[in-house]
Amino acid sequence: MSDPKTRAAALAVAMDWRDTPYQHQASVKGAGTDCLGLIRGIWRELYNNEPEIAPRYTPDWSDVSGEEILLAAAKRCLVPIATADTLPGDVMLFRMTEGAPCKHIGIKASQTTLIHAYWGKAVTESFLVPYWQRRWVHSFAFPPLSQKD
C-alpha cells in the first residue's frame, strides 16, 4: 500500500509541474516535459537521483512493437498496487490502444482527476473521464521516502 507522506509529497511536486510545456523526452520543470519526464522529475525531487536512465521511446501512443518498456520500468522502480487502491499521489499507467504496450503515465490528483503531460498540452490536471478510465491498466506507488538513497 502507498505511504501517505510519500503520496502527499509526490502530489505536491506534480502540482508544481503544471503548465510545463510538452516536449517529447524532456524532463525540466517549467521548460518542457512529456508524461514520463513528469514522473522522472517527481522522482528526482523526492529522491534526488533517478533510479535508471530512461530509454529512448517513440511518442506514438499506438505503438504496436509489443515491448512493454514503460511497464517494465515501472515494475522495477515503483511499488505495484491494485488500481482499486490507487489514491492521490499514486502513479497511473495507461494502455492507449488495445493490444499495444502501455504508453502513457500520470499521477492521480483526486478521485476524479489526474495530472499528466501529452502532446499538444502542457502538464495539466484532467478529469478522469471514461476515455482515461478505460485505458487505465496499472497503478504504482512511489517507494516510501524513508527508503531514500
Per residue in 4-40, pLDDT (tens digit) is 899 999 999 999 999 999 999 999 999 999 999 999 9
Per residue in 82-137, pLDDT (tens digit) is 999 999 999 999 998 888 889 999 999 999 999 999 888 899 999 999 999 999 99
Whether 74 shows a pLDDT value over 90: the answer reads yes
pLDDT given for residue 1 in this prediction: 52
pLDDT given for residue 131 in this prediction: 96
Residue 141: enclosing H or E segment and its boundaries?
strand 136-141
> Are the beta carbons of 27 and 37 closer than 8 angstroms?
yes
pLDDT given for residue 55 in this prediction: 74
Per residue in 29-73, pLDDT (tens digit) is 999 999 999 999 999 999 999 998 887 777 665 555 678 889 999
Cell for 114?
489526474
Cell for 136?
487505465
Distance of CA 69 to the CA centre of its chain: 14
pLDDT given for residue 60 in this prediction: 64
> Are the beta carbons of 98 and 138 closer than 8 angstroms?
no
> Are the beta carbons of 6 and 89 closer than 8 angstroms?
yes
Q: Can you name the residues that pair with 28 across neighbouring β-strands? A: 32
Residue 18 backbone phi and psi in degrees, to 5 = -55, 145
Residue 140: enclosing H or E segment and its boundaries?
strand 136-141
SS3 label, residue 41: helix
Q: Give, rounded to a whole angstrom, the gap between the first and last alpha carbons of the chain.
A: 20
Q: What's the rounded Cα separation, in Å, for the pair 119 and 108? A: 19
